[in-house]
Amino acid sequence: MDQEVLVILKEQLTPEMIEAGEQLLSKLDEIGYPITAAFWLFDREINEWQFTFATPERNFGPTEVYEKVDSVMRDLWGDEADDHIKNIRAIRPDSELAQRLKKIPGVSRTLGRTKFDNQYIDGRFIDDALIYRAA
């Protein structure tokens, strides 16, 4: 009996993506845009990494937040901005995810890099994440 096996390879978080996330976060800090958490989070359902950040500005509406971040990305990388960071998601600082990430040992309140994968935090499974900040 012939069987077919489908293997889906997990998209990798590349050094270029890691650096781009750090550059974007640094630039947002430089202009005074409030970011309380920033991290790459792997979404197994779509097999993609999402650059996710928490900002109190989210309370003013997601359109303004995404327009501001897009503007900063265009300043950094011009027309090639989408080549650096494709998927961005903004969340509120009081969101369940942002609150859980603060509890991970070693996570910086300023700017760092904490790898967290294949573990549960407060009952939620985190497949894979690279956390720059969670305050």
**pLDDT-derived band of residue 2, with 50, 70 and 90 as boundaries?**
low
Phi, psi of 13 (to 5 degrees): -85, 110
* Residue 55 clears pLDDT 80, i.e. is over it: yes
pTM of the entire predicted model: 0.84
Span 64-78, mean pLDDT? 91
pLDDT in tens, 9-53: 678 899 999 999 999 999 999 999 999 999 999 988 888 999 999
Span 120-131, mean pLDDT? 85
Instruction: Give the lowest-confidence range in 29-38, 55-64, 98-107, 124-133.
Output: 55-64
Q: Is the dihedral of CA 17, 23, 24, 29 positive or negative?
A: positive
Per-residue confidence (pLDDT) for residue 122, from 0 to 100: 79
**What are the percentages of helix, strand and coil residues in the chain, rounded to 5?**
35, 25, 35
pLDDT in tens, 83-118: 888 889 999 999 999 998 888 887 877 778 888 888
Cβ-proximal residues to 107 (8 Å cutoff; 6+ apart), any chain: 101, 114, 131, 133, 134
